[in-house]
Amino acid sequence: MTTLLRVNELRKKYLVNKSSGWFSRKQVLHAVDGVSFELSAGETLGLVGESGCGKSTTAKLVLGLLEATSGEVRFDDQAVHSKKTAVWREARKHMQMVYQDPLGALDRRLRVIDQVIEPLDIQNILDRTSRRQAALEIMTSVGLSHHLFDRYPHELSGGQRQRVVIARALILKPKLLVCDEPISALDVSIQAQVINLLQDIQKQMNLAMLFISHDLKVVNHICDRVAVMYLGKIVEQGLVGDVFKRPAHPYTQALLSAVASPFKPEANDRILLDGEPPNPVDRPAGCAFHPRCSQATERCKQSVPRLGDITNTHQVSCHLYSQTTVDTLTC
Amino acid sequence: MTVTDSATQPLLRVRDLRLGFQYDDKLVPILHGIDFEINRGQAFGIVGESGCGKSVTWLAALGLAGPRARASGSVTLEGRELLNTDERVMTSVRGRRIAMIFQDPSSSLNPAHRIGSQIGEALSLHQGLRGEALAKETVRLLDRVRIPHAAQRVKAYPHELSGGMNQRVMIAMALAGKPDLLVADEPTTALDATVQAQILDLLNDLRRETGMALVMISHDLGVIAQVTERVMVMYAGLVVEQADTANLFGKAGHPYTRGLLSALPDMEDTKHRLTTIGGAVPEAGKLPSGCSFHPRCQHAIERCSLERPMLAVTADNHSVACHLRDEELS
């Protein structure tokens, strides 16, 4: 497999007002703090974590919708910039996204078929009749029936709208699809339809997918690899089977034990974390997770752990694992 | 009423509850005859997709469904009728006998008042506390819902607290009336996974300590499985299945319940393709004839489109509203 997307030490800082007042000080918020990963064609990487951990910011940086403070995103061996140049436009043809709320992503005043054609208009591909033909084909292939094509978004159900959004994302035949919580706004019986659809088109088009979700059950089902984020950093990543079956980081362990499944209701060994994710502005020193970690030591309060290998398909950033503690002295 | 009566009688009994909303000359029916009972101290779950009527059942029962609502049937709390009764009676029930918490705590709290005074308001209303006693009880309640540094937090405003903390404040307010029944409407949907686990744990403990009954409304079957003892599945304004929680997830009877369960991805290794339920939930007022699930049901026979199935007890206090029997469905 060839690597399609390469993200290296990506960082995004924001300056925020600490408190309102006459002499408010600016503070730095590290939304994304040194994130690195790779993604190959046909592969799905899940990005999980709680709200505010930087999942969506990472996605926007990858797509070049935000300017990174430092670090690099390379797509198809070319750097992705946020400057809207011809190069950017060419690269964007191959990277598309699907968001959580389909009604928010669609224009309420345009018929859905016109919205699916729009990317072709913008990129100036094909002539008018072929554009319409291409739209008809892609809309049929995502399971929309013909009588829906000329409707407006409000005339469709939630699941149908999300199919329109997916059709629009696919019409340019992208290589990378970024899905940011694509099913959380949908009803349970509709979620399965959209999950199956995403898996089918991925196989057909050999798409690489960056799949952002807080639902670990869905991530387990759809992803090949997974990266767990906490306060802007990846704390654990690897093959889904490794990370979800043998979670190494205490945070991943807690996240997994918090999964409420109807198939194993009596989870007596449930790990309940104290407190909530801290405000990213007041990032704890050392390992950002140490105030909520039951196994934290003095060392966790002082030095920042780095991602290190446990096996060659599984990395964790935690002082409990000796492999990762070797190079922390350099921090 | 004798003592033995109240011991055997359910806390809340709902019989043939129907609800519609009046728009000009048109009545849009939402609930089509709901029956269920909740016992003292029971943890009861209501599952269903958006628009199936799971929340509006409670708004109707508490007389909060608004001026357009037209309700019929019966909702009795320990034998006393609640539906379409005097507003004064309802005021003594709401908050004091039946309390409710909602999905989004920050929109239920008043952003301009300190949380201490909002809890205090509920306390003075329901328990008539004043002054020192009120302040003390407020702190005790915050402590009870495990808000750290309760004595200082009474002075905080909702925006200074996180979503999980605000939901704890809502629970504290609900506890102020010492209710017999707490209705939690999607209480953890807006919260993060690790915080959701904390709130569910808290609700479970509170129920055990106080002996109040808990109704958990959720679209998340995992949450329901974890918290409740008995579950009712709703579809398009009707109850399609009711059973003890373990039985429902172990041997679901209705094709809709089975569909919901097999549509869920799980943490298992085997990555089978998810089984989907085709189509979508019917719109309110445009229900299909007969069984409202029949257009989406792969087992539907002719009878399903003609005749609405009634809830029938199969075994173990497990009731299913379906024309087909077990062996015909598998």
| Residue range A224-239, pLDDT digits in tens | 999 999 999 999 999 9
In angstroms, rounded to a whole number, what is the distance separating the alpha carbons of residues B17 and B35?
7
Confidence check: pLDDT of B244 > 50:
yes
Q: Are A216 and B281 a contacting pair at CB < 8 A? A: no
Q: Verify that A281 and A139 share a domain, yes or no.
A: no
Residue with tokens 């690269």: A91
**A255 neighbourhood in chain B, CB within 8 Å:** 193-194
CB within 8 Å: A258 and B266: no
Q: Please compute the mean of the pLDDT values over residues B81-103 and round it to a whole number.
A: 91
Domains contained in chain A, number: 2
Q: Delineate the domains of chain B, giving CATH numbers in brackets.
A: 10-97+179-244 (3.40.50.300)
Instruction: For A57-110, write each residue's pLDDT tens digit.
Output: 999 999 988 999 999 999 988 888 888 888 888 888 899 999 888 888 999 999
Q: Are residues A233 and A319 in the same domain?
A: yes
Last residue of a domain, one of A145, A173, A201: A173
Looking at residue B15, its pLDDT comes to 95
With a CB cutoff of 8 Å and minimum separation 6, the contacts of A77 are: none
In a domain, A21, yes or no: no
Chain B residues inside the 8 Å CB shell of A161? none
Mean pLDDT (whole number) for B206-219: 94
Q: Which residue in chain B is spatially nearest to A266 when comparing CA positions?
A: B226
Residue type, B57: T
Instruction: Clarify whether residues A190 and A269 are in a common domain.
Output: yes
Residues in contact with A59: Cβ distance below 8 Å, sequence separation at least 6, in sequence order:
A47, A97, A178, A180, A210, A212
Domain boundary among A150, A173, A196: A173
Q: Which residue, of A138, A173, A208, is where some domain finishes?
A: A173
What are the backbone dihedrals phi and psi of residue A47, each rounded to the nearest 5 degrees, phi first?
-120, 110
* A118-140 pLDDT tens trace: 999 988 888 989 999 999 999 99
- Other CB atoms within 10 A of residue A81 CB: 15
Query: Is residue A69, in this structure, part of any structural domain at all?
Result: yes
Query: Is A244 within the bounds of a domain?
Result: yes
**A2: exposed, middle or buried (C-beta count within 10 Å: 0-12, 13-18, 19+)?**
exposed
| Interface contact B225-A277, CB threshold 8 A | no
A218 — contact with chain B (CB < 8 Å)?
A: yes
Residues A186 and A198: beta-carbon distance below 8 Å = no
In this structure, the answer to whether residues A123 and A256 fall within a common structural domain is: no
Q: Contact, A32 vs A61, CB < 8 A?
A: yes
Burial (CB count <10 Å: 0-12, 13-18, 19+), residue B37: middle
DSSP A64: T
Q: Which residue of B has its CA nearest to A259?
A: B193
Beta strand A44-48 with A225-230 is parallel
> What is the rounded CA–CA span in Å between residue A104 and residue B77?
43
Distance CA A327, CA B114 (A): 48
Domain assignment of residue A20, yes or no: no
Same domain, A213 and A283: yes
Q: Is there a single domain that holds both residue A89 and residue A217?
A: yes
Asked if A154 and A295 sit in the same domain, the reply is no
Residues of chain B with Cβ-Cβ distance to A270 below 8 Å are 197, 201
Domain span at residue A112? 105-173
Q: Based on the fold, state whether residues A217 and A273 are members of the same structural domain.
A: yes
Same domain, A110 and A47: no
Cross-chain residue pair B275–A265, CB shorter than 8 Å: no
- Asked if A204 and A264 sit in the same domain, the reply is yes
Cross-chain Cβ contact A192/B221 below 8 Å: no
Residue A162 belongs to some domain of the structure: yes
> Are the CB atoms for A13 and A29 separated by under 8 Å?
yes
The answer, yes or no, to whether residue B34 has pLDDT greater than 90, is yes
**Does residue A282 form part of some domain?**
yes
Closest partner residue to A195 (CB to CB) among B195, B221, B274 is B274
Residue B3 burial (C-beta neighbours within 10 Å; 0-12, 13-18, 19+): exposed
Q: Do A195 and B165 touch (CB under 8 A)?
A: no
Is 60 exceeded by the pLDDT of residue B139?
Answer: yes
| A8 and A62 inside one domain | yes
By DSSP bridging, strand A308-311 and strand B12-23 are unpaired
What global pTM score does this model have?
0.84
Nearest to B274 by CA among A221, A186, A163, A202: A221
Max mean pLDDT among A17-21, B38-42, B265-269, B314-318 falls in B38-42
Mutate to test the interface with A, among B249, B274, B281 (most CBs of A within 10 A): B274
The answer to the question of residue A22 being in a domain is: no
- If one compares A187 and B154, the residue with the highest pLDDT of the two is B154
Please indicate, yes or no, whether residues A143 and A251 belong to a single structural domain of this protein: no
Which of B194, B229, B244 has the highest number of chain A CBs within 10 A, making it the mutation to test binding with A? Answer: B194
Question: What pLDDT is attached to residue A330?
Answer: 37
Residue A59 within a domain: yes
- State both tokens at A328: 């922390």
Q: Is the ipTM beyond the 0.85 threshold?
A: no
Write the pLDDT tens digit of every residue in A259-315.
Answer: 877 776 565 567 888 777 777 888 888 999 999 998 999 999 999 999 999 999 999
The helix (H) or strand (E) run that includes residue A236 is strand A233-239
CATH number at residue A228: 3.40.50.300
